[in-house]
A and B are shown apart, each in its own frame.
Chain A
Amino acid sequence: MKITLSVNDRSVDVDVAPSTMLVDVLRDELGITSARATCGVGLCGTCTVLLDGRPVSSCLLMAPLAIGKRITTVEGLPDDDAVVRCFSERHAFQCGFCIPGMVLTARDMIDTGRANTPEEIREGLGGNLCRCGCYVKIVDAIEEAAR
C-alpha cells in the first residue's frame, strides 16, 4: 500500500505491505539506519523512535499506524540538541548501536519532566538496554542535559 509518513518534519511517500514494521520502512525505504531492530519484541529499546514526541518501539509498530503522526529519529533532532551534545561530550557510548534509542528516550524524559534525579533517569531507561554497559555515563549525560 502507498502511505505518506512524516519523518523528521518531511513528508515521504512509501509503498509497502501493510504489515511492514516502521523500523523496516525507516531503514530499507528511507535509509535511516539509526533505528535498529535488536530484540524484535519491544524490550530493548534499540528501535526507539518518537511518535508525536513520545517514544515507541518501531520494531513492533506497523508503519500504517504512524500515518498522520510526527515520526522523529535521532537524525531529526536539532543540531544543538542538549542530549546529543551531552552523550557526545561525556562519551556515553561504546559500540553505539543502542544509543540513538537512548537519546530519544532521554529527550522524551526531559521534555516531560521525568529526568530530575539519577534514580528517575534509571527508571526511565528501564526499556533501553545497552549490552556494552554504558549506563553510568548515560545517566550522567542525561542528568546534565536535563539541567
Chain B
Amino acid sequence: MTADMRRSPGPSPADPRVVGGLDYSIDHHVPGAWHLRLVRSDVAAGRVVDIDTTGVESDVTIITPADVAAYGTFGCQIADQRVLAAEPKFAGDPVVAVVAPTPEAAREAAASIQLDYDEAHGVFNEFEAATASAPLVHTSHASASGDAAYFAMRPLDGTNVCHRFRIRTPELRGYDEPELIRELPPLDDATMSDAFAGSDIVVEETFRTPAAAHVPMEPHATTAQWVDGRLEVITGTQTPFNLRQDLAALFGLDPADVRVVAPAMGGSFGAKTFMRTEAITAVAAAFTGKPVRCVLDRDEVFSEVTRHASTVWMRMGATREGRFVAKQMVAYVNTGAYADCGPGVAQKLGYAGVGPYRFDHVAVDSYCTYTNLPPAGAFRGYGAMQSAWASERLVDMLAGELHIDPVELRRMNLLRDGDAFCTGEIMHDTHFEELLDDAAKAVAWNDGRDGKGVAIILKGMQTPSRAEVAIHALPDGRFEVRSATADMGQGAPEALTRMAADVLGVPPEHIVVPPPDTDLAPYDTRTTSSRSTHMMSRALAAAADDLRANGTVGHGRIVNDGGLDPDTGTGVASSHWHQGAAAAHVDVDDETGIIDVRSLYATSYAGRVVHRAAAELQNEGSMIMSLGTALFEELTYVDGQLVNPNLSEYNIASALDGATIHHRLLETPGAEVHGLGETAVPPVPPALGNAVASLGYHPCRLPMTPERVLASRVHPRQEAP
C-alpha cells in the first residue's frame, strides 16, 4: 500500500521538493520504533519533589532524572545541561521521558504523570540576571571540551554570566576594571574618558530585542537506535559532527561508535544545531532496547531553542566634521537556562556591533547571561542583528546631532581595504561603499529623506573552522561527493553538485550527493554562519586535484585559522566578511503607529554566485524573516511562561508581507564564493527603524509594534538634517 501511493520514479520535470518526493527527518521511520514523549516542567525554576506515575500503563517505559543521574552534563560550549532535569530551569524543561509502542500511548502516559515542585524564584531579564541580587540559575560553570568550544570561556563565578567577551583597542588596555559592569558607565568614567576625549559629539542609547522563534516548518524529529553497541541517530541537524562528539562523550563512546545521519530538514534557521532531542532519544533507546522516535509538537518547538533576547547599550563619539572617534558597547545577551552556543553569540554580537567602521578606540563588553527562560542558541544572523539594530540606529542619531546626511556620515567612516578592524585584523575584499550607495539609490535617497532609512553591516563567518570533503569515483562513471554539509533548504546538495561538476569538469548529472552521514563523510565543522558554500567550494577544488592525482578517491581539506582573545578581542574574527546593506521607505500612521512598508531593499556581497536562484532565495528569505523581526515577531513571557507558543499568536511573515521586497546580489567575476544565508538579516530592522525615525519617532526596541512606535513619538517632530 505504502509504496504504490507515492509518485512513481522516472523522468519528470518536477522537482522532488515540489511534489512531496523528498524525505525529511520526520519521514524517516525505523521499523519497530517506540515513541518518546517528554513531561516538561510547569515551573521556571525549582526542584521536582514528586513524580506520580500511578496512571501510566505497564507497557510504558518511564525514565526519571534519577534513572539518568549517571550520565554527565553536556552542552556545546558549556557543559551545563542534563538529559532530564531534577531541578528544572525553565518552564518546559524536560523532567520525565515516557516511551511507548505507539505515539498515542506515549501521549496518554505523558499526560497522566503528575509532577510536584518546590518552586523557586526565577530571573528572566538578561540585564537583571547580571545584577548582584539575581538568583543564580547555575551555581557553577563548566566549560565544554568539544570542537564547538573554540575559544576560552570567561565565566564570572558567583554570577549568571557564563561568558564575557571583551574588545579593548590598544590604548584602552591595562586599566583596572570591574569584571562585570552592572551599571552603565558614565561618560566621565576614568577608563573611557580618554577614549571619548577627541569627540565633539557623543550619543548613547539602549536598544532591545526580544526572544524570537525560528519556526522551522518541520518540527525537530529524531530516531535513535543501538546497533551492535554503536549508537545510530537519524536527525535533522546542522551540526552532525558536533552532535557525534557530544553524544559520544555522553555515553563514553569513541566518536567512531556514534553514527549521525542528517536527512534534509524542513527548515532550521539555527533551530536544529547542537544537542537538541538527540540525547534523551538515545538514552530512551538504550533503556528500552528498541529504536525510539521523538517528534516535537509545535508548542515544544517554540521552547526547544530561541533567539537571544538582548539589551545593548551603546555610546558613540565623533568629531564635529563627522569622523568616528570612539565606540563603547555593553551588551547583555539572554541565553536562557542553558548556555548552548550563547557564548559564541555574545562574541559575534560583540564585534558585529562595532559595525563596518573605523574607530580610534573601541571598548566592548558582551555578557552572556543565564536566565530561567528556554535556552537560546544559534539563530540566523547569530547576534549580528541584535547589535546592528543598536549600532545602525545610533549612527542615525549621531547624524541627526551632527546635521550630517546619514549616508554621507557612514561613507566617511566605512572600513576600506587595508584598514584595521577593532580586532586588529586588516580588512580585505571590502565592498561597503558600493553596497551603501546601492542601498541609498534603491530608495531614491537624494530625492527627499522623509520615511527613508539605510543600514549597513558586517557579519563574520565561523572562524576558526575546518571543511573536509571526499569525492569518490563510482564504477558507473559518476562521482559521489561525501560531505557533512547539511541541507536545511538552502540548497546544499545543489550547490555541492554544481561546484563539484565545475571542478571536475563533468556535467552536473554525473554528480551524486548523499545526505550527511558521519560514517561516510569526512569531518566538517558544521553548516552554520553561511560558511559551507564558501568552505566547501575550496575543499572541493582540493579534492578534485587529489582525485586527479590518486585515481579513485580525492580528499580535500581546508582549514581557516583564527579566533579572538576573549579579554581584548584581538585576533581574526572572520577569515572573510559578510557585507550587506539595506534601505527602507515607510509611511507611519501617526494615529495608530502602524508602519506601512512602501519599499524594502537589501544588497549583499556575493562574490561569485554558484546557484543563482538559491542565492536570490537566501537574500529574499533573510529579508522576509527579518521584516518579521522588525515589525511583529516576539516571544512573550510572563513570569517565565511563554504565552504565545503557536502560530496564531506568534505571527510570521506571509505572502502579503513580501510584496515590497527587492534586492541585489553584488557580484565580482572570479571572486571567492561568499555565503549568503544571513547577510540580509541584520540590516533590515535598523533600515526600517531609521526610516521610521526619519518621520519623528525614536524606536529603540524590537519589534516595532504600533504601540511602541506611537510611544516613541518625538515631540516636537525632529527636523530632517
Binding site for B on A (CB under 8 A): 7-8, 10, 12, 29-36, 38-41, 43-44, 46, 73-75, 77, 79, 84-85, 87-100, 103, 118-119, 121-123, 125-126, 128-139
Q: Looking at the assembled complex, report how far the CB atom of A96 sits from the nearest CB atom of chain B, in whole angstroms.
A: 3
Residue numbers in A under 8 Å from B614 (CB-CB): 91, 94
Residue numbers in B under 8 Å from A34 (CB-CB): 19-20
At the interface, yes or no: B562 with Cβ under 8 Å from chain A?
no
A-B interface, 4 closest residue pairs, ranked by CB to CB distance from nearest: A34-B20, A95-B489, A96-B17, A97-B266
Residue numbers in B under 8 Å from A129 (CB-CB): 217, 647, 652, 654
A92 to B620, CA, bound (A): 11
Indicate whether A128 sits within 8 Å of B489 (C-beta atoms), given known contacts A94-B617, A95-B267, A134-B617: no
Contact B266 A39 (CB under 8 A): no
Contact A43 B648 (CB under 8 A): yes
Question: Chain B residue with minimal CB distance to A122?
Answer: B655
| B16, B218, B298, B653, most chain A CB atoms within 10 A | B218
At the interface, yes or no: B613 with Cβ under 8 Å from chain A?
yes
Residue numbers in A under 8 Å from B617 (CB-CB): 91, 94, 132-134, 137
Indicate whether A8 sits within 8 Å of B5 (C-beta atoms), given known contacts A44-B647, A126-B655: yes
Q: A33-B24, A39-B298, A125-B656 are in contact. List 7 more A-B contacts (CB 8 A).
A: A30-B2, A36-B26, A38-B298, A98-B217, A100-B20, A130-B655, A134-B620
Residue numbers in A under 8 Å from B219 (CB-CB): 38
Q: Which of A7, A36, A74, A122 contacts B659 (CB 8 A)?
A: A122
Contact B17 A74 (CB under 8 A): no
The SS class assigned to the A binding surface is loop
At the interface, yes or no: B621 with Cβ under 8 Å from chain A?
yes
Contact B298 A95 (CB under 8 A): no
A89 to B18, CA, bound (A): 10
Contact B491 A96 (CB under 8 A): no
Q: Which of A39, A74, A77 contacts B647 (CB 8 A)?
A: A39
Residue numbers in B under 8 Å from A8 (CB-CB): 5
Contact A43 B647 (CB under 8 A): yes
Q: Give the interface segment out of B6-14, B283-291, B396-404.
A: B6-14
Q: Which of B1, B215, B217, B616 contacts A31 (CB 8 A)?
A: B1
A123 to B657, CA, bound (A): 10
Q: Looking at the assembled complex, report how far the CB atom of B273 sits from the nearest CB atom of chain A, in whole angstroms.
A: 15
Binding site for A on B (CB under 8 A): 1-3, 5-7, 12-20, 22-24, 26-27, 214-219, 264-267, 269, 297-298, 488-491, 613-614, 616-617, 620-625, 646-648, 652-659, 661
Q: Which of A36, A39, A125 contacts B654 (CB 8 A)?
A: A125
Question: Chain B residue with minimal CB distance to A139?
Answer: B655
Q: Looking at the assembled complex, report how far the CB atom of A140 sits from the nearest CB atom of chain B, in whole angstroms.
A: 11
Q: Looking at the assembled complex, report how far the CB atom of B598 sits from the nearest CB atom of chain A, in whole angstroms.
A: 15
5 contacts between A and B (CB under 8 A): A31-B5, A34-B20, A88-B13, A93-B17, A96-B17
Contact B655 A40 (CB under 8 A): no
A91 to B489, CA, bound (A): 12
Contact B489 A94 (CB under 8 A): yes
Residue numbers in A under 8 Å from B216 (CB-CB): 95, 97, 131
Contact B654 A89 (CB under 8 A): no
A125 to B614, CA, bound (A): 22
Residue numbers in A under 8 Å from B1 (CB-CB): 12, 29-31
Contact A96 B489 (CB under 8 A): yes
Count the A-B residue pairs with Cβ separation under 8 angstroms: how many? 186
Indicate whether A88 sits within 8 Å of B625 (C-beta atoms), given known contacts A95-B488, A96-B266: no
Contact A97 B19 (CB under 8 A): no
Question: Chain B residue with minimal CB distance to A89?
Answer: B13
Contact B620 A136 (CB under 8 A): yes
| B214, B491, B658, most chain A CB atoms within 10 A | B658
Residue numbers in B under 8 Å from A91 (CB-CB): 15, 613-614, 617
Residue numbers in B under 8 Å from A122 (CB-CB): 655-656, 658-659
Q: Which of A39, A125, A137 contacts B613 (CB 8 A)?
A: A137
Indicate whether A95 sits within 8 Å of B19 (C-beta atoms), given known contacts A39-B647, A44-B647, A88-B13: no
Contact A118 B24 (CB under 8 A): no
Q: Which of A36, A73, A85, A100 contacts B13 (CB 8 A)?
A: A85
Contact B19 A31 (CB under 8 A): no
Contact A135 B646 (CB under 8 A): no
Residue numbers in A under 8 Å from B264 (CB-CB): 95-96
Q: Looking at the assembled complex, report how far the CB atom of A29 sits from the nearest CB atom of chain B, in whole angstroms.
A: 8
A134 to B491, CA, bound (A): 13
A113 to B622, CA, bound (A): 32
Contact A94 B621 (CB under 8 A): yes
A28 to B487, CA, bound (A): 25
Q: Looking at the assembled complex, report how far the CB atom of B262 sits from the nearest CB atom of chain A, in whole angstroms.
A: 13
Question: Chain A residue with minimal CB distance to B22?
Answer: A96
Contact A85 B14 (CB under 8 A): yes
Contact B646 A38 (CB under 8 A): no
Q: Looking at the assembled complex, report how far the CB atom of B658 sits from the nearest CB atom of chain A, in whole angstroms.
A: 4
A123 to B16, CA, bound (A): 26
Contact B625 A131 (CB under 8 A): yes
Contact B6 A31 (CB under 8 A): yes
Contact A133 B5 (CB under 8 A): no
Contact B6 A133 (CB under 8 A): no
A50 to B621, CA, bound (A): 27
A94 to B17, CA, bound (A): 8
Contact B267 A99 (CB under 8 A): no
Residue numbers in A under 8 Å from B648 (CB-CB): 39, 41, 43
Q: Which of B15, B16, B267, B659 contacts A131 (CB 8 A)?
A: B267
A41 to B24, CA, bound (A): 21
Q: Looking at the assembled complex, report how far the CB atom of A128 sits from the nearest CB atom of chain B, in whole angstroms.
A: 7
Q: Looking at the assembled complex, report how far the CB atom of B1 sits from the nearest CB atom of chain A, in whole angstroms.
A: 7
Question: Chain A residue with minimal CB distance to B19?
Answer: A74
Q: Which of B7, B14, B298, B658 contacts A135 (CB 8 A)?
A: B658
Indicate whether A36 sits within 8 Å of B217 (C-beta atoms), given known contacts A84-B18, A85-B14, A132-B617: yes
Indicate whether A75 sits within 8 Å of B488 (C-beta atoms), given known contacts A31-B2, A121-B655: no
A103 to B16, CA, bound (A): 13
Indicate whether A79 sits within 8 Å of B489 (C-beta atoms), given known contacts A38-B218, A41-B648, A96-B266: no
Q: Which of B12, B20, B298, B653 contacts A133 (CB 8 A)?
A: B653
A96 to B655, CA, bound (A): 16
Contact B655 A44 (CB under 8 A): no
